[in-house]
Amino acid sequence: MQPITILAIESSCDETSCAISRDGIILSNIIAGQAVHEQYGGVVPELASRAHMQHIVPVVDAALKEAGCTPAELTAIAFTQSPGLIGSLLVGSQFAKSLALSLDIPLLAVHHMQAHVLANLIPDRATTAAGSTADQPSPSAPRPLPSFPFLCLTVSGGHTQIVVCHSPLKMEVIGETLDDAAGEAFDKSAKLLGLPYPGGPLIDKYAREGNPTRFSFPEPQIPGLNFSFSGLKTAILYFLQQHVADNPAFIEANLPDICASIQGRIVSILLNKLRRAARETGITDLCIAGGVSANSGLRLSFAKMGRSEGWNTFIPPFEYCTDNAAMIAITGHYKYLAGNFAPLSASASARAEW
């Protein structure tokens, strides 16, 4: 039987990425970031679309080259259809559709948030030692994968969700944020501290040297499995205004402790809800996904909570946490197996229903 070789494109926000998978194994995963947004303190949609147009051809070429694959060997083209910035999505979707049309192969339309969840199902590359994480330390043994049904806490710049994953293509959102996403909480806190965009990784970096119990920020009392981060942002704003009024050098003098305390609160908000979801559903295979799952404090606390609650915990390798096309390829692979193809008329959409 011919192998299933998929070329996948991700362009929902500010990373242009292309991956090649063969029979569900990732052969390449090229990601080009966009430094142009740093000076504006956030992603500028029009600049993102233009940068995608500049990056897409070299990124696709590099992915094919690294995989040692020619266009003639491709079985299908997968692309991120939604949700995301519409201009950014249009660049990837039009490119994907043109490629599928010219090669006369099927098209696979992928939901970005479902792909983040399925990043947990990406097997290790045959020839590399991917997958070292805080609680999965053995780089030589294959990374264990979760069994169905599993719970996934998906935390990114635009979303915060608790998802029950019944099978690769059957998922159910059982909790989500009512306002800001966890990534936004990191990025907006960083902005208040005068750190550049995206601030999440910088808070993570400074937090490693800080004391998370030095300052106390409130935990919102939201019923059920939903989240809220807007109150935390306001609390941090007032906290900083008050301290900086007393001491203008307060932030620079206390940056690691402030970052550790903010990170500690965001992580506890996330994990307290996840624990509640696990107890309510009785599910014991738990995953995290999305850009914020790269956070070292979240990874460590998740693994620690997993040990005390008796969970099997799973975290995707670092390169599959933030936006990447490998997760689009794996989702495309499952869609291909299910015969779930998209017509060439499939349009990109900024918002998406599950």
42 binding ligand KG4? (CB under 6 A) = no
180 binding Zn ion? (CB under 5 A) = no
187 binding Zn ion? (CB under 5 A) = no
Contact in structure between 208 and 300 (CB atoms under 8 Å): no
Q: Considering the complex, what minimum distance in angstroms separates the CB of residue 250 from Zn ion?
A: 34
262 binding ligand KG4? (CB under 6 A) = no
Contact in structure between 81 and 342 (CB atoms under 8 Å): yes
Cis preceding-peptide flag for 149 (omega within 30 of 0): yes
Residue nearest to ligand KG4 (CB): 291
Number of residues that bind ligand KG4 (CB under 6 A): 18
CA 215, CA 300: separation in Å to the nearest integer?
A: 20
Q: Draw the binding track, 100-139, toward ligand KG4 (x: CB under 6 A; -: no contact).
A: ----------------------------------------
316 binding ligand KG4? (CB under 6 A) = no
Binding window for Zn ion (CB under 5 A); candidates: 123-131, 151-159, 167-175, 232-240 = 151-159
Nearer to Zn ion, 84 or 297 (CB): 84
Phi-psi region of 310 (alpha: psi -120 to 50; beta: other; left: phi over 0): left
Nearer to Zn ion, 156 or 293 (CB): 156
Residue 198 partner contact from ligand KG4, Zn ion, none using kind-dependent CB cut-offs of 5 to 8 Å:
ligand KG4
Determine which residue in the list 88, 114, 133, 156 makes contact with Zn ion, applying CB under 5 A.
156
198 binding ligand KG4? (CB under 6 A) = yes
Question: Checking DSSP bridges between strand 312-314 and strand 25-32, what pairing results, if any?
Answer: unpaired
Determine which residue in the list 183, 210, 264, 317 makes contact with ligand KG4, applying CB under 6 A.
183
Residue 81 partner contact from Zn ion, ligand KG4, none using kind-dependent CB cut-offs of 5 to 8 Å:
none
CA 213, CA 255: separation in Å to the nearest integer?
A: 13
Residues 312-331 that bind Zn ion (CB under 5 A): 323
Nearer to ligand KG4, 306 or 316 (CB): 316
Residue 131 partner contact from ligand KG4, Zn ion, none using kind-dependent CB cut-offs of 5 to 8 Å:
none
Max distance between CA atoms of the chain, in angstroms, equals 72
Residue 200 partner contact from ligand KG4, Zn ion, none using kind-dependent CB cut-offs of 5 to 8 Å:
ligand KG4
Binding window for ligand KG4 (CB under 6 A); candidates: 35-43, 194-202, 210-218, 270-278 = 194-202
Q: Considering the complex, what minimum distance in angstroms separates the CB of residue 40 from ligand KG4?
A: 15
Nearer to ligand KG4, 17 or 75 (CB): 17
Torsions phi, psi of 205, nearest 5? -60, -50
88 binding ligand KG4? (CB under 6 A) = no
Residue 10 partner contact from Zn ion, ligand KG4, none using kind-dependent CB cut-offs of 5 to 8 Å:
none
Binding window for ligand KG4 (CB under 6 A); candidates: 97-105, 233-241, 252-260, 286-294 = 286-294
Q: Tokens 């109150």 identify what position?
A: 231
322 binding ligand KG4? (CB under 6 A) = yes
Binding footprint of ligand KG4 on the chain (CB under 6 A):
13, 156-158, 183, 186-187, 198, 200-201, 204, 290-292, 294-295, 322-323
